[in-house]
């Protein structure tokens, strides 16, 4: 092994390994704390023969850890960080948010679309017509938000429909169903006392991105 890349390393405990940032800014395996304390110092080192590898060992209990390809583990670390991040998504073809919320938020491999009511994006007013027309406007608004996030209605995995009158359910179900094909998203439908702008319907949705390529 070559001399340590880091002038100082954190003291800790030895246990199972996990992927973690190391003192030199690269990614390696770190021991997860256990009940058995070790007073040794973890030192990241690079072999002179292959600086693309990163090896870590404890200088007291002398347990060498696996040597990792720095580029591969850096990429894996970035993917794990992305799962925890939140990214707002918006579309000019859907009504602007009328409160402290985003049209949609991407978190990892899921897109959470806020509830849409039948607002015309151009006028900002509730569309004219019965509950069928309102349902179609809601679905078009959701389609626009999903498109801005790189998805479509085919990627939706769950929806919630809010109605002010469950007697509208048959008409809503027919209009809603025309936008999906099997396998249909999971769904819940509830009656509420009132909706924003006195709309008759509101729908929110959760959509899923295709799974990322497997870690190397």
Region of poorest pLDDT, from 6-10, 44-48, 149-153, 170-174: 6-10
Tell me what pLDDT residue 211 has. Answer: 80
Region of poorest pLDDT, from 106-110, 197-201, 204-208: 106-110
Could you tell me the pLDDT band of residue 85, with boundaries at 50, 70 and 90? confident
Percentage of the chain exceeding pLDDT 90: 55
Could you tell me the pLDDT band of residue 65, with boundaries at 50, 70 and 90? very low
Tell me what pLDDT residue 67 has. Answer: 45
Region of poorest pLDDT, from 3-7, 28-32, 35-39, 187-191: 3-7
Tell me what pLDDT residue 162 has. Answer: 98
pLDDT at 187 over 80: yes
Domains and CATH numbers, the chain: 11-83 (no CATH), 85-208 (3.30.1330.40)
pLDDT 10s digits, 86-104: 899 999 999 999 889 999 9
pLDDT 10s digits, 106-161: 998 899 999 999 999 999 999 999 999 999 999 999 999 999 999 999 999 999 99
**Average pLDDT for the chain:** 76
d(CA 88, CA 106): 6
């Amino acid at each position: 092994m070559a001399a340590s890349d880091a002038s100082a390393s954190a003291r800790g405990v030895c246990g199972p390994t996990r992927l973690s940032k190391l003192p030199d800014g690269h990614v390696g395996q770190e021991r997860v704390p256990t009940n058995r304390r070790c007073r040794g110092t973890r030192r990241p080192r690079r072999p002179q023969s292959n600086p693309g590898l990163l090896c870590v060992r404890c200088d007291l209990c002398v347990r060498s850890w696996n040597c990792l390809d720095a580029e591969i583990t850096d990429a894996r670390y970035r993917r794990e960080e992305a799962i925890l991040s939140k990214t707002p998504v918006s579309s000019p073809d859907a009504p602007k948010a009328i409160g402290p919320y985003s049209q949609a938020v991407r978190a990892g491999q899921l897109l959470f679309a806020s509830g849409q009511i039948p607002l015309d994006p151009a006028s900002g007013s509730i569309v004219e017509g019965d509950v069928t027309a309102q349902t179609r406007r809601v679905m078009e608004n959701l389609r626009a938000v999903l498109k801005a996030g790189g998805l479509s209605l085919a990627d939706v995995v769950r929806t919630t429909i809010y109605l002010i009158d469950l007697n509208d359910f048959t008409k809503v179900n027919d209009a809603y169903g025309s936008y999906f094909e099997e396998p249909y998203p999971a769904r819940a439908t509830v009656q509420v006392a009132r909706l924003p702008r006195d709309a008759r319907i509101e729908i929110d949705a959760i959509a899923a991105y295709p799974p990322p390529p497997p870690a190397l």
